[in-house]
Homo-oligomer: A and B are copies of this chain.
Amino acid sequence: MEARLATPVPGRDRVNRGTTDTRHRLIEAALVEFAAHGYDGASTRAIAASAGTHQPQINYHFGSKHELWRQCLERLLTELDDTIAAHVQGISRPDEPAVLAGIVRALVTFASRRPELNRIMMHEGTAPSDRLAWLVDTHLAWRQRDLARRWNRLRDAGVAAPVPVNVVHHLLIGAASLLYANAPEARLLGLEPDASTTVTGHANGLVSMLLPGL
């Protein structure tokens, strides 16, 4: 593993910043490390250093690395739901096609602003584990079923592209998020995943591909 960070709170000793503040900084630092290097590749020392504190704080505040990871995902999925809700509420005439278009735009927007969720999902999805089983049972299954129901109705109505229901979830998530999940790679290729023109062009193109009858 490449060297990354080693600054363990320079100078100040035993600063009490309150429990919620340290917890939030640890979660924010952890979700970035988990996203960049995967669960096994992320070290609790690097996370603590990035949060400006020391490694044993993780076990004090969360009990274990696993529980810290779990709370990172709760945070990220809450933010995703907030983003989707905001996009869907801003629709003038909310019929079914417009709502799905709003969800697609929300997925692209969120992936660009918070690439960490899709990065972690892509790391976890490559092998069975307790973490993956928890993710699927508590957060992924109902989302996949909800999209499948919407897709079936839109296919029947003739507005959706001829994509089978059993592949549409991963096709949509992959098409919407890989550019941002793999942003370090995209930047080396000369692309600009962070540019607002990139994101809006991406969202518009994906919506018109998925819903040609809109």
Contacts and interface: CB of A to CB of B under 8 A. Distances in A.
Interface string A148-161: 00000000000001
Contacts of A171: 175, 178-179, 202, 205-206
Interface string A35-64: 111111100000000000000000000000
Nearest to A171: B175
Stoichiometry, copies per complex: 2
A211 B201 CA distance: 18
Interface size bracket, A side: 35 or more
Interface in A174-212: 174-179, 181-186, 188-189, 191-192, 198, 201-202, 204-206, 208-210, 212
Contact of A126 (B123, B163, B188): B123
B121 A182 contact: yes
A136 B201 contact: no
Given A170-B191, A174-B175, 15 more contacts: A1-B39, A35-B126, A37-B38, A122-B123, A122-B182, A125-B182, A125-B183, A136-B188, A163-B209, A164-B198, A164-B201, A167-B201, A167-B205, A171-B175, A171-B205
Interface of A: 1-2, 35-41, 119, 121-130, 132-133, 135-136, 140-141, 144, 161-164, 166-167, 169-179, 181-186, 188-189, 191-192, 198, 201-202, 204-206, 208-210, 212
